[in-house]
Amino acid sequence: MAAPLVLGILVAVTVRAVLYRSSLAGFISERVEVTSPLNAWKRVVEGLALLDLGVSPYSGDVFHETPLIIYLFHFLIEYSELVFMITDVLTAVALYLAVQDFNKVVFKKQKLLMELDRYASDVAELIRTPMEMHYIPLKVALFYLLNPYTVMSCVAKSTCAINNTVIAFFILATIKGSTLLSAIFLALATYQSLYPLTLFAPALLYLLQLQFIPVKLKSKGFWLYTTQYAALYLCSLVVIVCLSFFLLNSWDFILSVYGFILCVPDLTPNIGLFWYFFAEMFEHFNLFFVCVFQINVFFYTIPLAVKLKEHPIFFLFVQLAIISIFKSYPTVGDVALYMAFLPLWSHLYRFLRNIFILSCVLIVCSLLFPVLWHLWIYAGSANSNFYYAITLTFNVGQILLISDYFYAFLRREYYLTHGLYLRRKDGTEAMLVLK
Amino acid sequence: MAGAVAAVLGLSLLLGSTGGSTGPPRDSLREELLLSPLPSGDLAATFQFRARWDSELHREGVSHYRLFPKALGQLISKFLVRELHLSLTQGFWRTRTWGQPYLQAPAGAELWVWFQDSVTDVDRAWKELSNILSGIFCASLNFIDSTNTVTPTASFKPLGLANVTDHHLLRYAVLPREVVCTENLTPWKKLLPCGSKAGLAVLLKAERLFHTSYHSQAVHIRPICRDASCLSVSWELRQTLTVVFDTFSIGQGKRDWSLFKMFSRTVTEACPLVSESKIYVDISSKTQENELLEVTPLPLSVHEASVQGDRRTYAVYDLLSPSLFNVSRSLNVQLKWKRPQDSLDLSTPVLHAQRYVSGYGLQTGEISTLIYNTHPYRAFPVILLETVPWYLRLYVHTLVITTKGKENKPSYIHYQPAQDRRRPHLLEMLIQLPANSVTKITIQFERALLKWTEYTPDPNHGFYVSPSVLSALVPSVIAMKAEDAEQSPLFTSLFPSSDGSSYFVRLYTEPLLVNLPTPDFSMPYNVICLTCTVVAVCYGSFYNLLTRTFHVEEPSRGGLAKRLANIIRKVRGVPPL
């Protein structure tokens, strides 16, 4: 299995290298769908130039990266292209290993449930076999590496790729069952962009499952493990934040990075919902809607945790998708990360209802983004409403995609426990509704 | 008896007035008009009114103002101002065609102030000062706030006496969008002791002054040495007004000028309060023998001065000399050209600059500044100060300075990046200009999308970028001797001269007009509704999936629509629903 992966990696690296040397590299790095004020490479270079001039990079409003990125690129600025290609490869390899281990866990759990007779009798079609699951890790790795969104993110040298790598390592550490590493990588991911805080819940649920600790509020083992994990996470976060303080000897970066993510002062257009909303917001309601939109990202965690406590990795996938859609400055790199997980749920294909329309919507919107941007900014024949409309459609497409997968997952779980061929009381074929 | 009392009273008053050692502070007023024909055929007229007051405004409680205007005197003592320079300008001084200006001002309103070092809260003093000045001069200086104020570190050094130069006491702001009109001229004229009733101020009529290519009125307040020993400080108020009359619109194509043609008035008398009132006409010629310009009436004296590195000759009309108004009651200075104009050579000034925006589209752009040093063999440094508003995000790593194709590294850079909605970018550089060269400075920027309430009512007009300032000590061709400020004409003592080999020049470039991408201003409600709809789609889908469970559907009787559909299906022969 290693050989196809290595081949895939080589192809991906070649594609990126070719694009780096072509004239498309400049065009892609200017695209607002690929870079945002948070992770643009131009701003990293600007921050390092400010540091060379003796001015703190956080004294202005152009640099919003964490101090560890300054530290990393201070030494690696010459090899930036290599760094980004390596991060993509590392992400793909981490996802590959994670999904491989996850498949083993899924298979073991399925076997246990079958022996316990939890499944209905006629669900043989729905049972997953090692044969069909054999190529899933490779598909996941290739889905990430060869996704046009990922390629564009890498060519634009957006630091979203580094963020994705840290999250991928976090997922690998969680699936392997290492509490410490999982906490450390989650702290790094939260330090980088704040929203992965919500991934604490699925990781905790998964680790509890691995340790065979039942999730009961009265159980002492549950609270013990939760406090252990939370303490590790918070301590590593505090250590990383303090290290960043010592880099530049000031706390300016907290306001520049986290204040910026939460308050959304910069209204540069991107593929998200925030920019036009706050460009057209009445000044009086600005604070209220900023709070509402930020709460919206964190709000789904508890209900999803309650519903999906038996399936923490699916919960992780849905949570990642919600972060990518509703974060304050999304880019296609964030979309690429959760899309890489879609091959994991390829067995849900028969239950998906709108997959064709949704994929058409997503592809067409991705193609229309640069067209309508050009018409607004360069040709002047369209206005901002056109780009905004495509943003809305793209986000609706993503939302419906995730909820479609969620629906299919829940439906399969129902069939597994109640039987695939359902009959009504009078013997006719039954219809399932969500009531 | 009454007579004796009156005599005693008179005597005591006399004794009292002469017995006191401190009388009221002495003040003096000088006025001057300089007419300089420009190489392109236009004529520049520079008025200067200088009030000098031997008083220490900050220490003594002053209540009696004579020649120094009370409004400005109170301002200086209340806000502990050390220097104040305010200019309101309409038009742009075209250095390349008109030559080096005596005192250039940027288009719009410019205010820079040095505060005393005893001021604790400089920003508050600055805000109150700009608001009060806005009221005094009827200009919208109240738009000066932290988003267009900067604190330069190297430019704008004090022009008067200075012992402490902590640059945190300096504030500088430019409002490029400000328009100058009659309602700004009237309060400016009101500050003059004679008003516009006598002296040279009689010529300041608004309908002629605003019919010009360039109109700049300024107020400069600074402390100067009272005498050569410089033990005590006097306050100097200079009010300058520079206008450039255009050959084609005023002169009807002819290059002959006269006071009546320009101002539609003539001078009849000097202001009785002035100690000196003169009109200078620049009659210097390039070649020694031929005089190009003939002035009538014949000047009583001729003054030679070395100004801006050039030896110039001026015809002088002293309005206080009794022989001036012997022939006629009014003085109408007339300038006639003896030779046709195509033989004039345009001497390019030693230092001039231009600035423009390049790039296309509303996403990015590039500001380019070209600085020309036309001196044949001398190189000199120039300080460039650029203030760019926060919504044009500058990227200082794209700053490129090239001279003659090679990179030119500045020896001093001070860059203060902007903070959104709080302060603008400040870029100050000391650049060495080699002899006979063009230096190109380019920097790239990104245009920000603002909130819909932050756009001006005409958003597609664009946003102004204030002019950049170039300050340089230009080496002069001839040696200039430092003259006593009291004896020399006012236009030679505008800037303090350190030595005779160079003169100080401050140039401004053009203001820039930059377009920003605009949102649709008619859509706030629609946008809120549509975005909230998308969020609600997510919320609704997830709510359904999280709170509802799957059930086998119970067959229902079906509504009317279903029964109708079943009837149609039976007709077609298809199984019913």
Segment A133-156, tens digit of pLDDT: 899 999 999 999 999 999 999 999
Whether B444 and B473 share a structural domain: yes
- The letter for the amino acid at B138 is C
Whether B177 and B226 share a structural domain: yes
Whether B308 and B441 share a structural domain: no
Structure letter (DSSP) for residue B490: G
Q: What pLDDT, on the 0 to 100 scale, is given for residue B6?
A: 54
Whether B226 and B303 share a structural domain: yes
- Centroid of chain to Cα B331: 32
Query: Is the residue at B257 inside a domain?
Result: yes
Poorest-pLDDT segment among A346-350, B43-47, B269-273: B269-273
CB contact under 8 A, A434 and B549: yes
Looking at beta carbons, which residues of chain B come within 8 Å of A326? 535, 538
For chain B, the domain total comes to: 3
Test mutation, A44, A52, A70, A276, chain B, max B CBs within 10 A = A276
Residues composing chain A: 435
Q: What pLDDT, on the 0 to 100 scale, is given for residue B19?
A: 41
Q: How far apart are CA B544 and CA B530, in angstroms?
A: 21
Q: Which residues pair with B475 in a beta bridge?
A: B502
Task: For strands B108-115 and B437-447, give the pairing.
Answer: unpaired
Give residue A421's pLDDT band: very low, low, confident or very high (50, 70, 90).
confident
Query: Is the residue at B551 inside a domain?
Result: no
> Is there a contact between A164 and A127 (Cβ–Cβ < 8 Å)?
no
The CB density around residue A215, as the number of other CB atoms within 10 Å, is: 16
Considering chain B, what is the average pLDDT of its residues?
87
Query: Is the residue at B425 inside a domain?
Result: yes
Give per-residue pLDDT as tens, A350-397.
Answer: 999 999 999 999 999 999 999 999 999 999 999 999 999 999 999 999
Q: What pLDDT, on the 0 to 100 scale, is given for residue B555?
A: 65
CB contact under 8 A, B537 and A396: yes
Give per-residue pLDDT as tens, B425-469.
Answer: 999 999 999 999 999 999 999 999 999 999 999 999 999 999 999
Whether B328 and B418 share a structural domain: no
Question: Where among B321, B343, B365 does a domain terminate?
Answer: B343
pLDDT score of A84 more than 50: yes
DSSP H/E element including A232: helix A220-248
Looking at beta carbons, which residues of chain A come within 8 Å of B546? 303-304, 306-307
CB contact under 8 A, A300 and B390: no
Query: Is the residue at B36 inside a domain?
Result: yes
Question: Where among B311, B343, B375 does a domain terminate?
Answer: B343
Whether B267 and B369 share a structural domain: no
Section B360-388 average pLDDT: 94
Half-sphere exposure of B239 (CA within 13 A, CB side): 22
pLDDT score of B344 more than 90: no
pLDDT score of B20 more than 70: no
The domain of B297 spans 26-343
Whether B333 and B386 share a structural domain: no
CB contact under 8 A, A279 and B541: no
CB contact under 8 A, A280 and B528: yes
Query: Is the residue at B195 inside a domain?
Result: yes
Give residue B16's pLDDT band: very low, low, confident or very high (50, 70, 90).
very low
pLDDT score of A218 more than 90: no
Q: What pLDDT, on the 0 to 100 scale, is given for residue B5?
A: 58
Residue in chain A nearest B540 by alpha carbon: A403
Section A176-197 average pLDDT: 96
> Is there a contact between A394 and A365 (Cβ–Cβ < 8 Å)?
yes
Whether B263 and B331 share a structural domain: yes
Give per-residue pLDDT as tens, B530-565.
Answer: 999 999 999 999 999 999 988 887 766 668 888 888
Query: Is the residue at B4 inside a domain?
Result: no
Q: What pLDDT, on the 0 to 100 scale, is given for residue B475?
A: 87
The more confident residue out of B515 and B59 is B515
Poorest-pLDDT segment among B3-7, B214-218, B266-270, B405-409: B3-7
Distance (Å) from the C-alpha of residue B417 to the closest C-alpha of chain A?
5
CB contact under 8 A, B531 and A269: no
| Phi–psi pair at B340, nearest 5 degrees | -65, 160
B462 touching chain A per CB within 8 A: no
The more confident residue out of B4 and B467 is B467
> Is there a contact between B178 and B88 (Cβ–Cβ < 8 Å)?
yes
ipTM > 0.90 (yes/no): yes
Query: Is the residue at B38 inside a domain?
Result: yes
pLDDT score of B273 more than 80: yes
Whether B312 and B403 share a structural domain: no
Section A87-104 average pLDDT: 95
Query: Is the residue at B39 inside a domain?
Result: yes
Mark which residues 483-522 of B lie under 8 Å from A by CB.
517-520
CATH number at B474 reads 2.60.40.740
pTM for the full predicted model: 0.90
Whether B79 and B107 share a structural domain: yes
- The letter for the amino acid at A225 is Y
Structure letter (DSSP) for residue A377: I
Whether B366 and B417 share a structural domain: yes
Distance (Å) from the C-alpha of residue B530 to the closest C-alpha of chain A?
8
Whether B227 and B373 share a structural domain: no
Question: Where among B298, B319, B343 does a domain terminate?
Answer: B343
